[in-house]
Amino acid sequence: MKRPLTLVFVIVMTAFAAGRAAADSQQKQDKKLKVLVTTGGHAFEVGPFYAIFDAMPDVEYARAELPRDAGLLQPGLEEKYDVVVMYDMSPPITPDQRKAFAELLAKGIGLVSLHHNLGAHRDWEDYRKIIGGKFVFQDCEIDGNAYSKTPWSHDEDLAIQIADSDHPITKGVGPFSIHDETYGKFYTTPGIHVLLKTDHPKNNPEVAWTTKYGNSPVFYLMLGHDSKAYANPSFREILHRGIRWAAGR
């Protein structure tokens, strides 16, 4: 009789464990995402920008300004927040703050880099590796290739195509148009996974991509200059999905 009872016990415990795992997974999905949004170093339309996050029912967010609050970007932040959304174009932070930020990314916190954040930390060479690209402010050489200054243009209409229709951030999203700022001739890191692209003559082909730094999933979205872009439904959907993806949802 012992063997059948043992088998029943194993079956019951396996079912219990599976049910507990499913419940834990559902609880994680139902829990609101905790997001820290960084700004600083570049003007933006404050109310319309934060309205994007106010409209995300599964997101709770806090604000930080760089470089003033750069001390927040250190190990331990991953216990309070799921994702950092970087909309700053911060001037240099200290070497110790850079080291702490890299150590935070080794912990696996999600990172979303948005629009002009491509030009943040311009003197920190590793930052281009973190976000997968760099806005070039002066003629230079990167990875053995010559780059000229990145040109930009306001109030342009961009036709956006989907480069990977199977990725969770873009799956089911169709091509769209957006009135926004263009960035041309910026640097991109080899190995990025491009999700959105454009053939606009004033813009790089790459518009959005994913990469990884340390243990952190990283999503960069070039769009998002002003309230016209903020109000675009496709922009909002992709940003929201990017946050969820970076959080492992």
- Return the domain boundaries, the chain: 31-246
Where the chain has pLDDT below 70, the residues are 1-29
3-class DSSP state of 135: coil
CA distance 95 to 248: 30
Instruction: Tell me, yes or no, if the pTM score tops 0.95.
Output: no
pLDDT given at position 21: 44
Pairing of strands 110-114, 133-134: unpaired
149: DSSP letter: P
Per-residue burial over 112-149, b if 16 or more Cβ lie within 10 Å, else e, is: bbbbbbbbbbbebeebbebbbbbbbeeeeeeeeeebee
DSSP letter assigned to residue 187: E
Which pLDDT score, from 0 to 100, does residue 30 have? 74
- Cβ neighbour number for residue 248 with a 10 Å cutoff: 12
Cis peptide before 75 (omega within 30 of 0): no
- Predicted pLDDT at 9: 52
Hey, how many other C-beta atoms are within 10 angstroms of the C-beta on 40?
A: 19
Tell me the CATH architecture of domain 31-246.
3-Layer(aba) Sandwich (3.40)
Q: Where are the alpha helices (DSSP H) in the chain?
A: 2-30, 46-54, 95-106, 125-131, 227-230, 233-246
